[in-house]
Every structure is written in structure tokens, then in C-alpha cells.
Amino acid sequence: MALDVTRIKTGRLFDELAHLWPLVSQPEEYREEAGHWRQVLREKLGPGRHQILELGVGGGHNLSHLTDEFDATAVDISEKMLAHSIRLNPDVEHHQGDMRSVRLGRTFQAVLIHDAVSCMLTERDLLAAFKTAAEHLRSGGVLIVSPDFYADTFSGPVFDHGTHTIGDTELTYFEYTYDPNPRDTTIETVMFYLIREKGRLQIEHDRFVCGLFLLNTWSGLMAEAGFQFEKRSFRLRGMEREYVLLVGVKDQG
């Protein structure tokens, strides 16, 4: 029986399937990239135990590699994902909120938006998230974001898979990212989770709609929100495309 993709509910991994998150993603997988975030933070802010804010912290996997050197606060829209991050990062202050509108009423030296920035589907949403970042930064403060893909270079389909086991549960995921409509600002990832528990195999599916923007759009919107824009490229082991961090330094005054 064929399954119509548009009937697959979106974002289940951050909601009703959030219990699967630790089986889909492991903190250790973020160690190398977190090293580049640390390098940029040190370069821009210098030594010291600076205060940083992550928007869309998810399970807090990337953040878990930065908390030994920085004092962190974290925001996510999903209570269930926050619960994972709280378990992993018990010393971090956590808040539930939407990165487009949350206002904590205080400032930080850096704001980080890791892959959660892909949840911004329109230029308007992206600008709102950048304005949130600007509101939470002092002059000279640093914004770092890491979009997964750019409209300039995206070439689908992109396929990934992995298997992880925790206790008696083994999960294999298949991840397929493609562009259903090249004329809009989104792409789509379809996921299948094969969960083996006590000799039984159960299959769940999931779908994520993600923003896809030109590099010029990223830089233009960052400038509009009051940032000096910089693109930093790195190489990660086992990753064919370059790993890019978009860095904004909040304008003085």
C-alpha cells in the first residue's frame, strides 16, 4: 500500500516521539563541530567564562561540549526536548519559548542557534529569530548559526542512516532529504525509525519541513537585525560538504 508523504505528520521526533531522540542522536557525534563553535567563541570573546544563550537547544547535545567553559542558558519550544537537555546539562538554566518571540529580559555575550535554525521556514521567521538574538546580546556580542543546507548549493536527495542501541532497544533510522518544490524556501526530510525491542520490530515515520535560503539571504537578514556578517568554513571528518558557521557580531551603539 503506497504511503502519501503529505499524510505523514511533521515534527514527531520533537513531540510524541521525543523518547526516541537519544536513540537517533548521540552527544558524542557533536564533539568535533562543537570544537569549532568553541574556537569562534574564543576568537570573538577572548578568555573568560562568558554567558551564552542557545535558542532551539533540542537535546542539548552540541551545548554539552561547551558548558565546561561557558555559563549557558537554553531555550526550546518543546517541553519534551527541554527535558532531554535538562538531563544532559543539569547546570544550564532552561526556558520554554519560541526563538522568534522569546524575551528573557537579559543579555548574554553570545547567542547560538545550531541546526534548530532550519526550523525557520520563511525570511520573516528567520529575521524574527535574528532579532531575538540581537535583543539578548550586548554590543559586540556574537551570534553563531549553522544551517544544514543553502539554496545556492543544495543538491538532493541527501540520504543518511544510523543504528544506535540503548539497553534493550535498538533503533535504526533512515533519513531522506529532498526538495519537493524548488520555487519555495523549504526542503523536506522524511524519516523512518525501525525500533527493535524485546524481539519485536516497530516502524514509525516522521517528516520535517526545513528552511532553505541563499547565503545572500542569510547575510542580508543578519545585517538587517544589526549584525556584521562573517562566513566561517571548516572540514569535519567524514563530511563531504564544508561545515559552515555563520557568525554575526552585533553592531556597536
Question: Does 148 participate in binding ligand SAM (rule CB under 6 A)?
Answer: no
3-state SS string for the chain: CCCCHHHCCECHHHCCCHHHHHHHCCHHHHHHHHHHHHHHHHHHHCCCCCEEEEECCCCCCCHHHCCCCCEEEEEECCHHHHHHHHHHCCCCEEEECCCCCCCCCCCEEEEEECHHHHHCCCHHHHHHHHHHHHHCEEEEEEEEECCCCCCCCCCCCEEEEEEEEECCEEEEEEEEEECCCCCCCEEEEEEEEEEEECCEEEEEEEEEEEECCCHHHHHHHHHHCCEEEEEEEECCCCCCCCEEEEEEEECCC
> What residue number has its CB nearest to ligand SAM?
58
The residue among 38 and 196 lying less far from ligand SAM, judged by its C-beta, is 38
Question: Does 65 participate in binding ligand SAM (rule CB under 6 A)?
Answer: no
Q: At 138, phi and psi to the nearest 5?
A: -80, 165
Out of 81, 126, 137, 244, the only residue in the binding site for ligand SAM (CB under 6 A) is 81
The residue among 73 and 78 lying less far from ligand SAM, judged by its C-beta, is 78
Question: Does 23 participate in binding ligand SAM (rule CB under 6 A)?
Answer: no
Per CB under 6 A, which region of 38-46, 59-67, 178-186, 214-222 contacts ligand SAM?
59-67
The residue among 148 and 179 lying less far from ligand SAM, judged by its C-beta, is 148
* Residues in 105-124 that interact with ligand SAM by CB under 6 A: 114-116, 119
Per CB under 6 A, which region of 53-61, 154-162, 184-192, 217-225 contacts ligand SAM?
53-61
From CA 249, how far away is CA 238, in angstroms rounded?
Answer: 30
The residue among 54 and 179 lying less far from ligand SAM, judged by its C-beta, is 54
Q: How far is the CB of 214 from ligand SAM (least distance, A)?
A: 21
The residue among 94 and 114 lying less far from ligand SAM, judged by its C-beta, is 114
Can you name the residues that pair with 192 across neighbouring β-strands?
Answer: 174, 205
Parallel, antiparallel or unpaired: strands 169-178 and 186-197: antiparallel
Per CB under 6 A, which region of 73-81, 152-160, 169-177, 193-201 contacts ligand SAM?
73-81
Per CB under 6 A, which region of 75-83, 151-159, 211-219, 220-228 contacts ligand SAM?
75-83
Question: Does 78 participate in binding ligand SAM (rule CB under 6 A)?
Answer: yes
Binding site for ligand SAM (CB under 6 A): 14, 30, 55-56, 58-62, 76-78, 81, 98-100, 114-116, 119
